[in-house]
Structure 1
């Protein structure tokens, strides 16, 4: 039997945005916003999500990735007891919890950085940060230079070659597991992290929890460098994310099919056996509704998200078609305040949540969508079909990015006596081992195939 994360369907929450926290600490004391998530746990369960990635969570100066204290929940969200309650409630509802691990850098209010500001060359933490030089400076005029993430000097790069830094961060992770009972960590900026540190992290977390999951944020590169038995279990599949919107906008299903063939084809796919984290939007990129030229593509995009190889993730609000764009360097539009009851009462795209619920149920019912090998069955610029095949069973997905209906004839990947469109229950005609289907404009279909 596979691990929980192999079969997971993720919901992704950026809590400072969802819960309407102020951008900086303008409030006195602790505000218990996390308690509002109780209703969202019910919503996640009803939509078929089996895991939640929530973060950043820990005390920070502004957006959450400028950590001030790794062992305290951000006071704008609540306290440690609030988060313990959230994890417990999720677990009671069959939902695993994954948090952000921001280990590439800290904020300037972090204790080690402040000690360097105070004690300079005498600070015991002077080697905790990269390239600290007391002969240089930054625009903050501290009287010393340090390396920062993308030259954003509010984010000081930690020196993960230093034993003290590593020991501290590994102790933080043990604390999170003991204190909150989390099930995994999403590593922020994993493509900047030192590989030896990630290997140590894999060993430490595996000792604490055998089925602990590590997923890395990786934009470019050979994902297999990170996803292997020694380092991480998964990384973000940005390559497929790009194809999922541009393949529709350009009416070019060859882009999506080529990406999947390159990554997961049974004969030569470079990541076959890996389970990459698949998404169509997140807290750093425009909402999929805004990336697509036509909203009619939404059904096909989400159908592909749930049926292609990978671990699917829906970003909060995505199930209703919430809009949001990045404005220059400002991500606020991607991270809106949402009130559950308001979204359910007036969803921007009313039919989308129902589709996502059906796709979630189908994925849980059909092991082929988790473990099945991938086989391309039909491909033109505007039509695409593929099968997921497991132990002689098959699930076949077909999508049409044309503004006109299309006739599909799809060769069944297994001998078939019956094929039904799983989302509607409608029977498909079979002729000479082919599924015959009239697809509407912008339509998608998922067929379960019974062997004859």
Structure 2
């Protein structure tokens, strides 16, 4: 058996949006919206999900990334007891839970920043933040300046070179492990964090909980700088995310195949031996259904997501094919409130939900999809076939992004007889090649019997 996280199918929840929490945290009372998410756990089991990434959860001022209190669940979502119950229910159902760790910056309502506002040069927390300068001013007219994340001055950059800051944050992580029994952390803007901080985090969390998973949000750059034995187990694979939709929009399977070859090919793939976190949409980018020019491609995009190297992740609501685009600077359209019962009753794309559930089941039945080597078998602009192979196990995936049917002749990667992984029907092998017919915008998966 491999590690739980390398074999996982993730479900990404943005709870402030899902539960329709107010945009600003101004009300004094606690509202137990997290409890609305308890019934979702049964739904996740049905579609083959084995891990949840949920967040942000820390008490914050607005969107969740402007932290006010690291040890409290945001009162708009509920209290710490609600989240403990959520994790307990997930674990009872065999689902791991990973939370958002926002450690690059805090909000302006965080105690250390407020102490600087009050005591200025005399505050013991001046060194907790980057660039604090009493000769400057901030857009908020604080009477001092500071470094902000991407010039968003509601987000004050922490100074991770300061031992007291690191100790504080490690204490926070230890608290979330002991208090809630979380299984991992997704590090917000990991590409802004110091390598030493992440190395120490990897060491400490490994001591506190075996198989604790660290995944970093990294958009650009060489992911191997972050994913290694000393630092993180995984990062977001934004490079593949882009190819998965644009390769279909442009009828260009070369884009996807080139990305995978560059990343994971057995001969020279720069991330071979590493496992990245794959996704087709999330809380920061447009929904897949809104990105596809031809929406009939959606099922084959998910087939590729689940069968190419990587840990697949579904963003809440996308299993029903909902739409949502960034509007100017606002991400609200990608973070809608959803009523589970209503979505299940009025599912706009039941065939997509069923396909995702079938992919989840197939992934569980075929561990080769988690750790098998990747081999490209056929590649044209509009047709693509590849295998995942381990010893004598093999899965073959065939995809057709054309608006017309296609016949493919695919060399088998491991000798033997093959069947359709979903229907269990036998597939003809002639002279060592699978003879496959694909309808327009169709994908099929075959397994060696």
After TM superposition, the score normalised by the length of structure 1 is 0.99
Q: What residue in structure 1 maps to residue 360 of structure 2?
A: 360
1:282-301 deviation digits (Å, cap 9, x = unpaired) = 00000000111011110110
Q: What residue in structure 2 maps to residue 67 of structure 1?
A: 67
Q: What residue in structure 2 maps to residue 34 of structure 1?
A: 34
Q: What residue in structure 1 maps to residue 391 of structure 2?
A: 391
Pairwise CA distance, 1:328: 1.2
Q: What residue in structure 2 maps to residue 226 of structure 1?
A: 226
Pairwise CA distance, 1:429: 1.4
Query: How many angstroms apart in 2 are the aligned matches of 1:23 and 1:289?
Result: 25
Pairwise CA distance, 1:26: 4.2
Pairs within 5 Å for 1:188-199: 188-199=188-199
Query: How many angstroms apart in 2 are the aligned matches of 1:28 and 1:153?
Result: 24
1:428 pairs with 2:427: yes
Query: How many angstroms apart in 2 are the aligned matches of 1:275 and 1:98?
Result: 16
Q: What residue in structure 1 maps to residue 185 of structure 2?
A: 185
Query: How many angstroms apart in 1 are the aligned matches of 2:191 and 2:25?
Result: 30
1:298 pairs with 2:298: yes
**Corresponding residue SS for 1:155:** strand
Query: How many angstroms apart in 2 are the aligned matches of 1:6 and 1:139?
Result: 44
Q: What residue in structure 1 maps to residue 99 of structure 2?
A: 99
Pairs within 5 Å for 1:277-316: 277-316=277-316
1:32-82 deviation digits (Å, cap 9, x = unpaired) = 011111110111111111000000001000000000000000000000000
**Corresponding residue SS for 1:227:** coil
CA contact (8 A) 1:25 1:76 kept: yes
1:216-274 deviation digits (Å, cap 9, x = unpaired) = 00000000000000000000000000000000000000000000000000111000010
1:85 pairs with 2:91: no
Q: What residue in structure 1 maps to residue 439 of structure 2?
A: 440
Query: How many angstroms apart in 2 are the aligned matches of 1:106 and 1:14?
Result: 19
1:48 pairs with 2:48: yes
CA contact (8 A) 1:108 1:156 kept: yes
Q: What residue in structure 2 maps to residue 411 of structure 1?
A: 411
Q: What residue in structure 2 maps to residue 350 of structure 1?
A: 350
Query: How many angstroms apart in 1 are the aligned matches of 2:98 and 2:393?
Result: 32
Q: What residue in structure 2 maps to residue 240 of structure 1?
A: 240
Pairwise CA distance, 1:349: 1.7
1:149 pairs with 2:149: yes
**Corresponding residue SS for 1:267:** coil
Query: How many angstroms apart in 1 are the aligned matches of 2:153 and 2:348?
Result: 38
Pairwise CA distance, 1:183: 0.3
Query: How many angstroms apart in 2 are the aligned matches of 1:404 and 1:424?
Result: 23
**Corresponding residue SS for 2:153:** coil
CA contact (8 A) 1:51 1:97 kept: yes
Pairwise CA distance, 1:27: 3.2
CA contact (8 A) 1:367 1:390 kept: no
- Provide the alpha-carbon RMSD of the alignment: 0.7
CA contact (8 A) 1:20 1:336 kept: yes
Pairwise CA distance, 1:348: 2.2
Q: What residue in structure 1 maps to residue 216 of structure 2?
A: 216
Query: How many angstroms apart in 1 are the aligned matches of 2:154 and 2:258?
Result: 40
Pairwise CA distance, 1:426: 2.8
Query: How many angstroms apart in 2 are the aligned matches of 1:89 and 1:143?
Result: 48
**Corresponding residue SS for 2:127:** coil
Pairwise CA distance, 1:210: 1.3
After TM superposition, the score normalised by the length of structure 2 is 0.99
Q: What residue in structure 1 maps to residue 137 of structure 2?
A: 137
Query: How many angstroms apart in 2 are the aligned matches of 1:342 and 1:322?
Result: 13
Query: How many angstroms apart in 1 are the aligned matches of 2:139 and 2:153?
Result: 8
CA contact (8 A) 1:262 1:269 kept: yes
Pairwise CA distance, 1:3: 1.4
Q: What residue in structure 1 maps to residue 337 of structure 2?
A: 337
1:186-209 deviation digits (Å, cap 9, x = unpaired) = 000000000000001001100000
Structure 1 residue ranges without an equivalent (≥5): none
Structure 2 residue ranges without an equivalent (≥5): none
Query: How many angstroms apart in 2 are the aligned matches of 1:267 and 1:363?
Result: 25
Pairwise CA distance, 1:393: 1.4
Query: How many angstroms apart in 2 are the aligned matches of 1:302 and 1:259?
Result: 17
CA contact (8 A) 1:411 1:435 kept: yes
Query: How many angstroms apart in 1 are the aligned matches of 2:432 and 2:387?
Result: 14
1:327-357 deviation digits (Å, cap 9, x = unpaired) = 1110000000000011111122221110011
Pairwise CA distance, 1:421: 1.4
Pairwise CA distance, 1:419: 1.5
